[in-house]
Chain A
């Protein structure tokens, strides 16, 4: 059932990461989570989408459109409701994340269900970061809904469009339906100890926060490594992951 809800003109939301650039750039972006239709195509979760699967960020058209493909004929698949688009189960509060492959001065981001604008976030004419997240309250809606997210550029006539299929209600939070295979290393890493102090004795266990010098030896995952380049260890730089810093012996 559809119900008109009113939100403040600038709803509360989290804008993540800001990097200002002076050079005008080509704007490109799409909603990556919950996955938009173009994201589902780019994930190969919906087959036979055509070119859009290589460039989910390119659904660009004049402002004011209310469809999923920005009137671009070779993206028309996005506007076809009969393609079996999987809907992401969400609660009534949903955080949408845009991935921007190029930034552009932004008028605002708008979110529509049907003809109702359910949220708008001002861009203030500034350039957004590499990703932007907005939290939208959809408490007036339930069941399957097709939401249209729009990124309105402030210094061109254009906007970027992403349709997101949602199953609202019943779920909690903001689950991501994508498979999440992980290839974590054995990961015996203890809680990172901050405050690098002295080098560990040769043969100690690798630990984030420690400062290592060339020639230091550590064990990690049952193997021994020798430091090739001085550095302070951090998560993500576990010895098997960074051959530039560690060589196995």
Chain B
């Protein structure tokens, strides 16, 4: 597995420049980021310079979107009631998210941004209708998760870019593989790339379930762990799976 990955990595290096276009937004932010040993605070400052104000405004009001978890602190805009059906008796909820929860949210936000990139590269080119249905549902659900994560980060005064996740997850060469795959191979390449991508999310979520503190974030982590694991299993069962 490792050696195969390394081979892919070498092969992908040649096309990683071409992949930079896909990551345009990320590149802008990366260039503003201190090169080494960057502190969160500095990264956040850089982000604030880069993000347009209207986007920040969106992030600030997005706090309660899509989250079914009982909230320990009122969201700034509570026009949308939680959609949870009969939530369980509220556990002890820390009112302020701890650094470890915010770090997980930041990592997941970056990971989910990549998910959306992957989905948008392939959604109109897939052959297997089950895969088409899956990626469409993934796009819908993870878009909501991203809004939720960014909203919580904004409430805590952190940005979704507070941590460097440029090197985390699926690299530009993998995105290039998806973009460059002939139509007949898109299904197979998607299963390979996206299974690894979602497995990484499940792994991160599982680690957070053992270390996190905030009930809302733990609930998100539980759903991430379950849904990504199930998606990997679903993809493994498709005809195009290797």
Contacts and interface: CB of A to CB of B under 8 A. Distances in A.
Interface in A2-53: 15-28, 32-33, 35, 39, 41-44, 51, 53
A16 B204 CA distance: 10
A235 B225 CA distance: 9
B144 A21 contact: no
Interface residues of B, number: 92
Contacts of B5: 18-20, 126
Interface stretch (B47-55, B85-93, B182-190): B85-93
A242 B144 CA distance: 8
Contacts of A55: 39-40, 99, 103, 163
Contacts of A221: 85-86
B163 A101 contact: yes
B85 A39 contact: no
A239 interface: yes
Interface string A195-231: 0000000000000100100000000111100000111
A23 B203 contact: no
Contact of A232 (B99, B130, B218): B130
Contacts of B91: 181-183
Contact of A181 (B68, B92, B165): B92
15 contacts: A23-B167, A43-B98, A44-B99, A55-B103, A57-B103, A101-B163, A102-B165, A102-B167, A179-B213, A183-B87, A232-B134, A232-B137, A234-B227, A235-B226, A244-B143
- Chain A residues touching B, range: 35 or more
A100 B8 CA distance: 21
Contact of B210 (A22, A33, A102): A33
B136 A229 contact: yes
Contacts of B229: 235-236
B18 interface: no
A21 B173 contact: yes
Contact of B66 (A39, A124, A237, A244): A244
A60 B227 contact: no
Given A181-B93, A183-B68, A230-B136, 17 more contacts: A20-B171, A32-B211, A53-B99, A54-B41, A55-B40, A57-B163, A102-B165, A129-B200, A130-B168, A131-B207, A182-B219, A185-B68, A235-B227, A236-B224, A236-B229, A240-B85, A248-B85
